Amino acid sequence: MKDKRKVVKSIIERLKAKFNLSVAEIGLQESRCDAEIGCAVVSNDPGFAHNVIEAAVRFIESDCRVEVLKIDRI
C-alpha cells in the first residue's frame, strides 16, 4: 500500500504542476495495486479542455510505473 500511495501521489502532484488540473484519487483507495484517479479542467474553450485532458492521459500512460486499464471521459 505504501508503494502504491507513493506512486499515485507522485502522479497526482506532477499532473497538477504540469497541466494545472484538478486531480484526486477518487476510488480504490483500499486496493493494494489499483487506483482510480479523476482529473478535471475548466475552460471556456472546449477544444483547449479536450487537449489538456488528452495530454494528461498521454502523460500518465508514459509513466512506466503504471498501466492504464480504463479511461472514462465525460
Q: Which DSSP state fits 41?
A: -
Can you give the pLDDT at residue 28?
79
What structural domains and CATH numbers belong to the chain?
2-61 (3.30.70.1120)
5-27: pLDDT as tens digits: 888 899 899 999 999 899 998 88
d(CA 69, CA 17): 24
Angle at 7 between CA 51 and CA 21, to 5 degrees: 30
Angle among Cα 70, 71, 74 to the nearest 5 degrees reads: 145
| Residue written as grid cell 471521459 | 73
Q: For 29-46, what is the mean pLDDT?
A: 87
Q: Over 90: is that where the pLDDT of 55 sits?
A: yes
pTM recorded for the entire structure: 0.78
